[in-house]
A and B are shown apart, each in its own frame.
Chain A
Amino acid sequence: MYGHGLKFSRSGYNLKTFRASPYLLPQFGAYYQKFLLSKTRDLPEHGLVTRGYAFDFGYSNPNNAIAPFQWAECPLVIGRDFIAWSVTRVYSVAAPLVLTAPATTPHGVGAVTSQLGPNVSPGLMVNFYHTHNDVTRRWANKNISDGEFGGSGRYPMLLKDPALLPQGDTLMCVIQNMSNVTLQAQYLLMGGEFDTETYGQEAGV
């Protein structure tokens, strides 16, 4: 992206130009990329293969939904050297997707009523624990809210300094449910992994 990126300048003065990637131009425009994107380049344009690590709490496996006011953790072992580039997250009130008969007949007592409008903000608190060579480092000094960490597919939160997660390390996502409803949540780290044995150095070119 760096080599083929676009160059911008607000003043027109040549020394104040800065490169901006065509990526995320719709979301953040040219100027704000200066603050959001990595300083010199987005990512190596070759050697990386697209990869995401999803920390799932109930969407992929409904049994992992988080009970009211409880917390849960999801550790993942990094399979290959991985650079995390963006963070996205989503959550919602858990609803039964399958289909066991309720305790009583229609209209009867015991059926789960609609769990609307928990009206809690934030809905969850999150932290990441990165373990490397038996040393664990948190990504935040305390559990922080969903509004302070993570974006969406439309507006991903970019890591100004992409995080390198070496092969064999463990990254654990810890989520605390802040509402009185069963919560489904998922955090996704998108980036690339160095898969030179399968793809060679030129993958992704």
Chain B
Amino acid sequence: MAQRCSTCGGSGLLSIGSTATQCPMCEGTGKQWDPGRQYEYEMGPVTFNAPAAAAATNTQNYAGTATTAGSLQGVSCQIADNPFRCMFVVARSTFPFAIQPSDGGSGSGRYFVPQQTQVHSENFFGDSRHPMPWPTPYIFQRNQNITANITDLAGATGFVSVTNGSANVAWVSGGLFNCGTASGPPFPGVNIWSGAQINIGGVLYVISSAAGQGVQSQVLLTLATTYAGTTNANIAYAVSNTIRIGFIGQELSNQQN
């Protein structure tokens, strides 16, 4: 149980003269305000459309997880021994992604957005200098999980054809090259893969960002440098999206709630 407010004694009201008014310290809740201590939980990094799947090095927050798929269900981040009051959310990722966050500790899991919908990362997250506030702070109880279903919106894996000494990469099978733009508004007019890294046969190359270069179509792109490996008509490729999500707030005392 939370401690009673030391100003109003837990009633939520203060007597001023002949009238009673809401206690300004607890805003009428009757509970002692707990300022908490600054804390941040990071979920991830999780890599989607990775060249090879990898198990998390830290299963409590999925750190180091890699999947060859474009989405994962139930990515989690475990709250430690104290309740956590989340006030801001931030994220850092290679490409945009869609997410459906929930509180894994509230019964069947409380979703913060309608259950059939995933939210675009540009809508939901800020960065460290401009964090997206949650208008009403949300308290995750200790030892519970923040969970999320996440979908990569831009990466891909598949097989391509490459020739030693050539910068051209031709699609063969699997995920088509991404012809889309980065997110707006306004329309940025830049292909989202422009300048991104592409893993070809285990070696990282950069997709050209020069005018008229880069992703030409769903089946043809050019690298910033020529392909230096052995000519191969069917070699694996991956353009991956590594996602980190930060929850910024305060770690509360164990007496809270």
Contact = CB atoms under 8 A, between A and B. Distances in A.
A and B pair up: yes
B189 A118 contact: yes
Given A190-B135, A192-B135, A54 B173 contact: no
Given A97-B153, A99-B175, A205-B29, A60 B118 contact: yes
A123 B186 contact: yes
Nearest to A124: B185
B220 A121 contact: no
Contacts of A136: none
Contacts of A85: 135
Nearest to B155: A97
Name the residue among B87, B116, B119 with the largest chain A CB count within 10 angstroms. B119
A89 B184 CA distance: 9
Interface in B91-133: 91, 96, 98, 106-107, 110, 112-114, 116-127, 129-133
26 contacts: A3-B27, A26-B131, A44-B136, A46-B27, A52-B124, A59-B118, A60-B116, A60-B117, A91-B183, A95-B178, A96-B218, A99-B174, A107-B170, A113-B217, A115-B179, A115-B180, A118-B187, A121-B187, A122-B185, A146-B184, A147-B186, A153-B122, A198-B110, A204-B136, A204-B137, A205-B2
Interface of A: 2-4, 23-24, 26-27, 42-46, 48-54, 56, 59-60, 76, 79, 85-86, 88-99, 101-102, 106-108, 111-124, 146-147, 152-156, 179, 186-188, 190-192, 198, 201-205
Given A52-B112, A153-B121, 10 more contacts: A60-B118, A90-B123, A90-B184, A91-B184, A92-B183, A106-B170, A113-B179, A147-B186, A190-B135, A204-B137
Contacts of B158: 99
A92 B136 contact: no
A188 B220 CA distance: 35
Interface of B: 2, 24-29, 31, 33, 70, 86-87, 91, 96, 98, 106-107, 110, 112-114, 116-127, 129-139, 153-154, 156, 158, 161, 170-176, 178-187, 189-192, 214-220, 257
Name the residue among A49, A120, A123, A179 with the largest chain B CB count within 10 angstroms. A49
A111 B161 CA distance: 16
B114 A45 contact: no
B187 A123 contact: yes
Contacts of A119: 187, 189
Contact of B126 (A52, A53, A153, A204): A153
Given A114-B179, A119-B189, A188 B119 contact: yes
Contacts of B257: 205
Nearest to B186: A121
A202 B29 contact: yes
A93 B181 contact: yes
B27 A116 contact: no
B119 A106 contact: no
Given A97-B70, A155-B130, A204 B182 contact: no
